[in-house]
Amino acid sequence: MLTTLRRRVPAVAAVLALIASLAIATTMTAPKARAADCTWEPGPRGSTICVIQGQTPGGKDPGKKGTGVDINCDAAGNIVYNGTTYRCALGIWSFSGGCYITAVVPQPPTNDPIWGTDDPATHRLQWEDCTHIPPTLVGAIKIVGPCDGYCGGDDPVVRITKELEIAKPDLGMAPPGGPGATGMVNENVWLWSNGLDTSTQIRRAANVVGTRTFVSADWVVTRTTPSSGTIATLHCTSDNEYTAADGSAPSPDPACGFQFTAPGTYTVTVTTSWTLVITQDGTQSTTQNVTSTPNTTNITINEGESTNG
């Protein structure tokens, strides 16, 4: 009997110590609950989910919050779910139906396949941890969840416009430009932009649709030494990259080829031009003409007999 009692006392003490440590950890790590972050709504399999508040849809008032109500937290910031007490918030995480969720930052583009059939204007991509307390990103999964109002961060018009911004184009030239680069008078010069995507791009969020359409790659050739200003402007709509197999042939698109007719130092600049149309609530805005950041190189042209002209 004495031996049995001696075995039980340390076991009970260990259990009490564990409970005490958990209570202390909860008290130390649990911040003040963010009671207005969620609207409780019925979820799958009889659960209750936290619907995160976002901005008012449609971009009418990007600063206005959604109309969610406070979640049912007690004064200490706790909530009872299926007989178990949870913290309503732990750091950046909010309680939701037995799990904790937090937004993925940054949110993926509106055309990312992860959205599936869900509208990124009324949903957001979030981390969900149903295993750990406190929750962690390690082991959490990404899920698309609902939110109240617009959830994409920026006003939909701003978000779509940002997603359709134009990247600085690559500058391809043969003979190549750059420090110390040289070419010959009357040599066939090819101009192209590696990886230039000329396809029409469409993005959607809430009641906003943005459409970006390629117009041209615009090349400007300027002689800097001796200075004589712009000597050529080309508007190229194809993307023919020069290869060694092309030899001395000119570019198959005359608008993407050139010959320097006089020696000197030249600057070659390329930008791309597009049109952008934003449609909101079915009403189309005025077509915007947008231009990329320029990309520039330099080349010195020498007198002599061209090997490909």
pLDDT value at residue 27: 28
The rounded percent of the chain whose pLDDT value lies above 70 is 72
pLDDT of 49 reads: 58
Domains and their CATH numbers in the chain:
31-153 (no CATH), 159-302 (2.60.40.10)
Mean pLDDT for the stretch of residues 248-277: 95
Reading the block at residue 138, the tokens are: 């390690």
pLDDT in tens, 2-58: 333 233 333 333 333 333 333 333 322 222 233 334 555 655 444 455 555 443 333
Are 93 and 100 contacting, i.e. CB atoms less than 8 angstroms apart? yes
Determine contact, residues 62/154, Cβ cutoff 8 Å. Answer: yes
Judge whether 124 and 105 are in contact, CB under 8 Å: no
For 168-187, what is the mean pLDDT?
Answer: 93
pLDDT computed for residue 67 by the predictor: 24
Q: Is the sign of the CA dihedral 68, 73, 78, 82 positive or negative?
A: negative
* Structural tokens at position 53: 């508040």
**The pLDDT of residue 253 is above 80:** yes
Mean pLDDT is lowest, of 44-58, 179-193, 262-276, for: 44-58
Most confident of 100-109, 137-146, 293-302: 293-302
pLDDT of residue 151: 61
Residues 188-237 pLDDT 10s: 999 999 888 899 999 887 778 999 999 999 999 999 998 888 999 999 99
Average pLDDT, the chain: 76
Q: What is the pLDDT of residues 120-146, one digit of tens each?
A: 777 888 888 988 888 998 878 998 887
Contact 172, 241 (CB under 8 A): yes
Among 67, 303, 39, CA closest to 186: 303
